[in-house]
Structure 1
Amino acid sequence: MAKKTETFLLEDVRPRLMRAAFVPTLVAVTDDPDYVDDETVLGTDDVTAAKIGGAPLLTKEAPAPKCGKCKQPLRFVLQLRRSDLPAAAQVHLAEELLQLFWCDDCQSEGGAENPWSKGALIREVALGQPLAPRKARGDDEDDEDDEGDEVDALSVTFIRDWQEVEDWPSGQVEVLAAALEVSPKSEATREKLEALAEAMDDAELETLDGVKIAGWPRWVSEPETVKCKCKAVMNPVIQLGEDAVVVGDAGTTWILACPACGKKAYVCQQ
């Protein structure tokens, strides 16, 4: 009997393409009433909260890190709490907090060519006694206040209430081929995959941007594959879209996890 030829009709392959992703509610907070608007509320920071920006939990065991290249202090980017995450995502963390820091000058080398850049740090931290927060230095070195220091207005976005949603791969032929476990080398297969991509576009089945866990990566350019130091292929587990964390002029960052040894790395695309 002749082997049945796959047509890749959307109604036939939908179950193979849909993945569950988890997206949070993002709450922007400031401690300066002048910055309160329709998108930002008045509030205070919490060093143990899941968030983008603000102040991370720093302890004696996990102090403020410095860049491994230029030795300048790393900028805090992200903190997630294991107990807040969906059960499917908690397996990726051994400690309660996951923190991401990077150097604005040196982190841009991070990517498939160098996911282990010394210009960034991904670490897991146990909850402990926080160190006293430090004041941020003001722009005016000649400030006339008593200490010559100025505390910047709080700028933090809390990450709360993860919800499960449907997520779909991009319409790139190579991405769809990998999702359906077929080779895109033949012209006939590529035409079918291109037709599938058009059908997905008509049905408004898109890859979610922004902050999410699991689902499909929303690649800015070509899909990237990163191998762990143990040689296993790493999986993107946390996405930070350009509307959440700005990398250079724009871009998206992913935190990757090794399914074999649990190591973390990161990829940036602009």
Structure 2
Amino acid sequence: MVNQGLPKNEQWPKCPHCQNPLQFFLQLNLNTLPEALKNEFGSGILQMFYCTNEEIPCDCDYPGCQVFSDIHLIRIIQPKAEVQDVKIPENQGIFPPKLIVDWQYLEDYPNYEEAEEFGVELDFNLDELFIDNFPIEGDKLAGLPLWV
């Protein structure tokens, strides 16, 4: 995973609470997504940074899982924008880089509790199927969250 870079004159994003550099989690070229997701999220390079500070647990103390939490930065930059070479902060070794090599389409469904919230009535046999199998675990794009 190679960081596209930061826009010119931008410093590495920091957590507003602990002031540590945010962990670089993801970079995804939206222009190369599978056909089923073309233009679903716009175009450009999607980047995600998140606070992983364990000494001051920002993820616990602040609503890290909330959409508008300030302990993460999710943005789209354009690949033709002028970027600068940046030194990646030292805390960035937490997650080793991985490369997405293939996409596999899978049908995903909500868990049985969320299905009921959506107004879906399940019979007993299907309830057991949903309890054990959905939503699908693992890394995925555009699927349903598997709540812990």
Q: Could you tell me the TM-score, scaled by structure 2's length?
A: 0.72
Distance 1:94 1:67, change over 3 A: same
**Percent of residue pairs bearing the same amino acid type:** 31
- The 1-side partners of 2:123 and 2:27 are apart by 38
| 1:60 counterpart residue number | 8
Q: Call closer, same or farther: CA 1:70–1:137 in 2, change over 3 Å.
A: closer
Name the SS for the 1:78 alignment partner.
Answer: strand
Matches for 1:18-37 after TM superposition, within 5 Å = none
Relative to structure 1, the CA distance from residue 66 to residue 194 in structure 2 (aligned partners, 3 Å threshold; closer, same or farther) is same
Query: 2:70 maps to what in 1?
Result: 118
Question: Is the Cα contact below 8 Å between 1:176 and 1:193 reproduced in 2?
Answer: no
* Post-superposition CA distance 1:209-241 (Å, at most 9, x none): 111122332222xxxxxxxxxxxxxxxxxxxxx
**Which residue is equivalent to 2:33?**
85
Residue 216 of structure 1 aligns to which amino acid in structure 2?
A: L
CA-to-aligned-CA distance 1:20-52 (integer Å, 9 cap, x gap): xxxxxxxxxxxxxxxxxxxxxxxxx5334xxxx
Counting strand residues as a fraction of each chain, which structure ranks higher?
A: 1
Residue 108 of structure 2 is aligned to residue 167 of structure 1: yes
Letter of the 1:132 partner, please give it: D
Q: How does 1:201-220 map to 2 (within 5 A)?
A: 205-220=133-148
Computed over aligned residues only, the root mean square deviation of the Cα atoms, in angstroms, reads 3.1
Change (3 A) 1:130 1:163: same
The separation in 2 between residues aligned to 1:99 and 1:136, in whole angstroms, is: 16
Tell me what 1:197 maps to: 127
- Report if aligned partners of 2:44, 2:76 keep a CA contact under 8 Å in 1: yes
Q: Which runs of 4+ in 1 moved over 6 A?
A: none
DSSP-derived class of the 1:83 partner: helix
> 1:123: Cα distance to partner?
1.1
**Structure 1: any 5+ residue segments left out of the alignment?**
1-44, 49-56, 139-151, 183-188, 221-270
When normalised by structure 1's length, the TM-score is 0.43
Max Rg structure: 1
Can you give the 5+ residue segments of structure 2 that lack an aligned partner in the other structure? none
